[in-house]
Amino acid sequence: MAYVTVDGETVEIDGEKNVLELVRKAGIELPTFCYHSELSVYGACRMCSVEVDNMGLVAACSTPPADGMVIHTNTKRTQRLRKMVVELLLANHHRDCTTCDKNGACKLQSLAYQLGVRKVRFGERKEILPIDDDNPSIVRDPNKCILCGDCVRVCSEIQGIGALDFVGRGADTCVSPAFGRKLGEVECVNCGQCVAVCPTGALTGKSEVEAVWNAVSDPSKVVVAQIAPAVRVALGEIFGKKPGELETGRIVAALKKVGFTKVFDTVFAADLTAVEECDEFLRRLAKHERLPQFTSCCPGWVKFAEQHYPEILDNVSTCKSPQQMFGSVIKKFYGKELGIEPKDIFVVSIMPCTAKKFEAKRPEFTEDGIPDVDAVLSTSELGLLLKQAGIVFDELEGQAFDRPFGLTTGGGVIFGVTGGVAEAVLRTAAAALKIDLGCVEFKEVRGFQGLREATVLLGDVELNLAVVHGLGNVRKLVDAVRRGEAKYDLIEVMACPGGCVGGGGQPQPNDTESRKARGKGLYLSDRMAQLRSPSENLAVTKLYETYLNEPGSELAHEVLHTNYGPRRRISGDIKINDTSPGALDVSVCVGTGCYLRGSYDVLQAFTELSDRDDVVGKINLKATFCLEHCENGVSIKVGDKIVTGVTPENAEQIFGEQVIANLETGRASCLCSSGCVSTDEEKTRR
C-alpha cells in the first residue's frame, strides 16, 4: 500500500489520479475554478495549490500522488496565494454582482467571501465588452469570464463541437466563438452544457421569467404550463432537497399560486410521442427503409444533425418533441374545446433544457405568426420565479395535474433519462404487436455509459438498438454507422450527458452523481405508476378517437410531425483577400460536407490561381459555410451562380471556366435554370 500525509493525517492512495482527490478524500475541500472531475486537467487557476515537502507550491489538480508525500493545504503561503488569485480575478471582473444572474450562486463570489477577501488592492476593469445575447438559449458576458476554460473543454471534450475556444495571447486572451462571431452565429447547438459548468455569470441561460410574469398578469391570456419529467426530480435542489426527490405535487401547487390557469404534464405528450414514434418505427421496419431510425426528442441533437450530418436527416424520426406536440395539441384542439383562440393561449414549457428555448422559436413550430410554445423556463428559472413570488416551497401541499392532460404512464416519465425514450418505444411496440412479455421493463437499454448497445426480442422480431448521450459520443456512433461498421434498427440520441436529467437548465452542481440520482427518481416514479406503457394512456386514446383518428394518420402527421433540413454551421463569410469596389464575388463552401470533400484545398488552389492569373483585386474571394448543396460535393458561388462538383483536381479548370470567363464576359457560365449546375452536367451540355 502507498500513503500520503495530508495535514498530519495518513491517507491511502487507492487509484486517485492527483493530489486534489486525496486531499478531498481526507475531508478537506480545496477551492478550485478550472478543475472539473469530468474534464481534462487544465491546472491554470492555481486555486488548489498546496505545499508539498521537498517540492514547494504545486497545483493539487495536476500533481500525481507519490508514496510518502507530505502535503500541507493551509499554510500562510497557500492562503496568501489563494487570496491573491481571487483578487486578481476580481480586478479583471465586471463586479456588478447585485444585478448579475448568478448573484448568490457565483463561485467567485462565494470564494471571495470564504477566503476573506474584503478589499481588492488592484484597479477595476476599465473596458466593458458588449454582451452577446443574440442566442435564443444562452447569454455570454465576456466581462465576467475568469478564463477557467471549463466551457471550452466541455464543448470540445464532451460535446465534440468546439463552439468556444481561447482567442488571443497574454493579457488579450479571451474565450470567444470562432472568428469573433456571436454565439448564435456559430455551430452552437444550444445544449447549455457550457452554462452548466460556468462558475460565474459569464455564461447563463437566457431568461424568459419576465415574459411569463407579463403573461400571468395579462387578463386576456389563458396561461397554461407543461412540466417535463426531469424538472420534478431536480427543482427541489434549489430549495435544499437532494437530487432525485420527486416534487411533482408541490410544483403544481406552486404554479397555481403564481397564477397559472392550467398546469399539465409533459409526460402526456411523451406518451403521445412514444405512440407516434413506435408507429413510424414499425412501418419503417416492415418496409426495411430509412433504418436505423434516430429519435427526435432532443433539439440539441436535431440541430447537431442538421449542421454536421445532413445526409442522415431522412433517418431522423419526423415526430415532434413532446414539448412541441403538447403545444400543438393545446393550440389546435384544447383551445377549440374551451372556445379560446390560439393567440389568447400562452403556453409555458418548464424544461431542464436550454435548447428547448431554441426549439420553441423554430419557424417549423409557428403557424400564422403564433408559436405552439410561447415561453420556455428552465428548472433554474422556475426556482427563481417561485422565489420572486415569495412562495415557501417546503410548506406547500401537493396538488394533482389538471385534466385531461394530467393522465400519464411510467413510460412517458422515463423520457427524462438516457435510455428512457427507447424503452418507452419498446413498451409501446410490444403492445402494438400484442406481445405479452410479462414485464414492461427493458433494462438492457438502461445505464449511464456514453454508448450502450442492446438486442431485444419482440416475438419473432430481433431488434438491435443503441442508446447514446453526449454529442462527442454521438459523433463516434454516427460515423461508425455511416462507414457500415455498426448496424442498428433504432438509435436513441440525447445531447446532454445523462439525458434530460443533465440538461443545461438544471441546478448546479450538474455532475454525474446528481444526474444518476435524478434518473433514479424517474425510474422510481415509473415503478410506482399504475400504467406503465404509453399505449395504455386513455387520454391519448381519446385524443385519437376525437381528433387524430389513428397513429400515423394524415392529420396526426400534420399536427404531430415535422421535417428538418441542412443548416449552416457558421453564418456569414470569411474574407480571404483585399478587393476593389465592383469586384466579382467568389465564394468556396467550407461547411462540413464540402470540407470533407476537399474544399480547403480548393480554396487554397483558388488563392494561388488568383495570384498567378493576376486577378487579385478583381475578385472578392471568400470562404462561406453552407451553399446548401451538400450532396453534390464541393460547391462554389461565382457572382449569383452556384457550381457544384468541384474537386482539388479540377479546381484549376473550374477557376478558368467560371471565374476567368466571368471576368472576361461579365457573366457566369452556370447553365441550369435553378442557378446551380454540376461540372459533369456542364461538360455533357457542351
Model confidence at 672: pLDDT above 90: no
- pLDDT tops 50 at residue 68: yes
Judge whether 375 lies within some domain: yes
pLDDT given at position 571: 64
489 and 370, same domain (yes or no):
yes
- Cell 453534390, residue? 632
Q: What is the number of alpha carbons within 13 Å of residue 221 lying toward its C-beta?
A: 18
CA–chain centroid gap for 468, Å, is 14
446: pLDDT strictly greater than 90: yes
Residues 423, 290: one domain?
A: yes
In the structure, how many helices (H) and strands (E) does the chain have? 24, 25
Instruction: List alpha helices for 7-122, DSSP H.
Output: 19-25, 76-91, 107-114
Query: Where among 559, 594, 613 does a domain terminate?
Result: 559
C-alpha dist (Å) from residue 512 to 150, 517, 616, 635: 16, 9, 55, 43
- Is 337 part of a structural domain of the chain? yes
22 close to 11: Cβ distance less than 8 angstroms: yes
Q: Dihedral through CA 207, CA 368, CA 545, CA 401, nearest 10?
A: 20
Given a contact cutoff of 8 angstroms between Cβ atoms, the answer to whether 492 and 474 are in contact is: no
Let me know whether 295 and 418 are in one domain: yes
Residue 672 belongs to domain spanning: 573-685
Locate 456 and state its grid cell.
431485444
Q: In this structure, how many other beta carbons lie within 10 angstroms of the beta carbon of residue 178?
A: 17
Q: Terminal CA-to-CA distance of the chain, rounded, Å? A: 80
| Residues 347 and 415 reside in one and the same domain | yes
Q: Kindly compute the dihedral angle of the four CA atoms of residues 24, 28, 31, 34, in this order, to the nearest 10 degrees.
A: -10
Is the pLDDT score of 666 beyond 80?
Answer: no
Residue 82 lies in a domain: no
Q: Which residue has the higher pLDDT, 501 or 594?
A: 501
Same domain, 243 and 382: yes
Three-state SS at 398? coil
Query: Is the separation of the CB atoms in 585 and 529 below 8 Å?
Result: no
pLDDT for residue 313 is more than 70:
yes
Alpha-carbon distances, residue 558 vs 105, 251, 319, 325, 329 (angstroms): 44, 32, 10, 11, 11
Answer yes or no: do 145 and 230 share one domain.
no
Pairing of strands 345-351, 222-227: parallel
Per-residue pLDDT, averaged over 39-43, amounts to: 87
For residue 61, being part of any structural domain is answered with yes
**CA-based R_g, the chain, Å:** 28
Burial of 588 (0-12, 13-18, 19+ CB in 10 A): buried
58 three-state secondary structure = strand
Closest by CA to 584, choosing from 647, 653, 641, is 641
Q: Are residues 266 and 239 in the same domain?
A: yes
Q: What is the rounded distance in angstroms from the CA atom of residue 481 to the CA atom of residue 454?
A: 15
User: What is the reported pLDDT for 573?
Assistant: 57
Grid coordinates in use for 427?
413498451
Count of domains for the chain: 4
Which of 6-15, 233-242, 465-474, 611-620 shows the lowest per-residue confidence on average (mean pLDDT)? 611-620
Instruction: Supply the mean pLDDT for the chain.
Output: 90
Residue 621 to residue 600: CA distance in whole angstroms:
13
- Give SS3 for 371: strand
State the average pLDDT over residues 641-645.
88
Whole-number pLDDT of residue 678: 52
Q: How many residues appear in the chain?
A: 686
Q: The C-alpha cell of 7 is what?
A: 495535514
Q: Which is it for the CA torsion 515, 519, 525, 531, positive or negative? A: positive
| Residue 380 and residue 489 share a domain | yes
CA atoms within 13 A on the CB side of 242: 8
pLDDT band at 670 (very low <50, low <70, confident <90, very high): very low
Q: Which three cell numbers stand for residue 295?
A: 429519435
Residue of 670 and 302 predicted with greater confidence: 302
Domain shared by 521 and 578, yes or no: no
229 & 163 share domain: no
In a domain, 83, yes or no: no
Enumerate the active-site residues. 277, 280, 297, 317, 356, 359, 364, 500
**For the segment 195-239, what is each residue's pLDDT rounded down to a tens digit?**
999 999 999 999 999 999 999 999 999 999 999 999 999 999 999
Domain boundary among 47, 74, 101: 74
- Judge whether 592 and 308 are in contact, CB under 8 Å: yes
The three three-digit cell numbers of residue 267, written as one number: 409526460
- Block residue for cell numbers 374545446: 337
Q: Which of 74, 96, 112 finishes a domain?
A: 74
Ranked by mean pLDDT, the top range of 40-49, 487-496, 578-587, 657-666 is 487-496
State whether 151 and 93 are in the same domain.
Answer: yes
Q: Helix, strand or coil for residue 520?
A: helix
Does some domain include residue 424? yes
What average pLDDT does the segment 627-648 reach?
82
Output the domain CATH number for residue 622. Answer: 3.40.30.10
Residue 146, in any domain of the structure: yes
State the DSSP code for 325.
H
Residue 376: inside a domain, yes or no? yes
Pairing of strands 49-52, 56-59: antiparallel
Residue 210: Cβ within 10 Å count: 11
Q: Report CA torsion sign: 387, 391, 397, 398.
A: negative
pLDDT digits over 319-359, tens only?
A: 999 999 999 999 999 998 889 999 999 999 999 999 999 99
Q: What is the CATH number of the domain that holds 36?
A: 3.10.20.740
Contacts of 299 (CB under 8 A, 6+ apart): 190, 321, 353, 355, 356, 358, 359, 362
Q: Residues 6 or more apart from 348 whose CB is under 8 A from it? A: 212, 215, 223, 224, 225, 226, 260, 373, 374, 375, 376, 377
Letter string b/e over residues 267-304, b meaning 16 or more CB atoms within 10 A of that residue's CB: bbbbbbbbbbbbbbbbebbeeeebbbbbbbbbbbbbbb
- Do 670 and 546 fall into the same domain? no
Q: Would the pLDDT of 576 be above 80?
A: no
| Whole-angstrom distance, CA of residue 184 vs CA of residue 195 | 15
- Domain CATH code at residue 526: 3.40.950.10
Could you write out the DSSP letters of every residue in 131-167?
A: PB--SSSEEE-GGG-----HHHHIIIIISS----EEE
Which residue shows C-alpha cell 393545446? 330
For the chain, percent of residues with pLDDT exceeding 70: 95
Q: Which CATH number characterizes residue 200's domain? A: 3.30.70.20
630 pLDDT more than 70: no
